[in-house]
Amino acid sequence: MSKTNKKVVPESGKALDVLKYEIAAELGLPVGKSAANLNVEFATELGAIPSQNMKEDYWGHIASRDAGAVGGTITSRLIRKAEEMMFNL
């Protein structure tokens, strides 16, 4: 199986991550380094996962609906921005 979500501009990854966390914060979702650290500590204490295998960018505790809302909002904003740029040409 091949990966289908390749970025057209690989350098955009950092900007998309910033946008993702900005939108998650606007939606009140507990993600990011502080939320991930709490989740890692809690899961490690329960013995669910060894801490060295856990990434800081963990979204496993976020409902699919909420994660989808973040992705949908990113898409909306990117389309709106592209439309604005096209209108100003």
User: What is the DSSP code string of 21-41?
Assistant: HHHHHHTT---SHHHHHHHHH
pTM confidence score: 0.64
pLDDT tens digits, the chain, 89 residues: what are they? 566 777 788 888 888 888 999 999 899 998 866 555 555 555 555 554 444 444 557 788 889 999 999 999 999 999 999 999 998 88
In contact, 26 and 20? CB cutoff 8 Å: no
* Nearest alpha-carbon partner for 17 in 66, 61, 56: 56
Helices (H), 1-89: 13-26, 33-46, 64-87
Query: How many domains does one find in the chain?
Result: 1
> Any idea what DSSP says for residue 49?
S
**Considering the domain boundaries, does residue 7 fall inside one?**
no
**Considering the domain boundaries, does residue 8 fall inside one?**
no
Domain membership of residue 70 as a residue range: 13-87
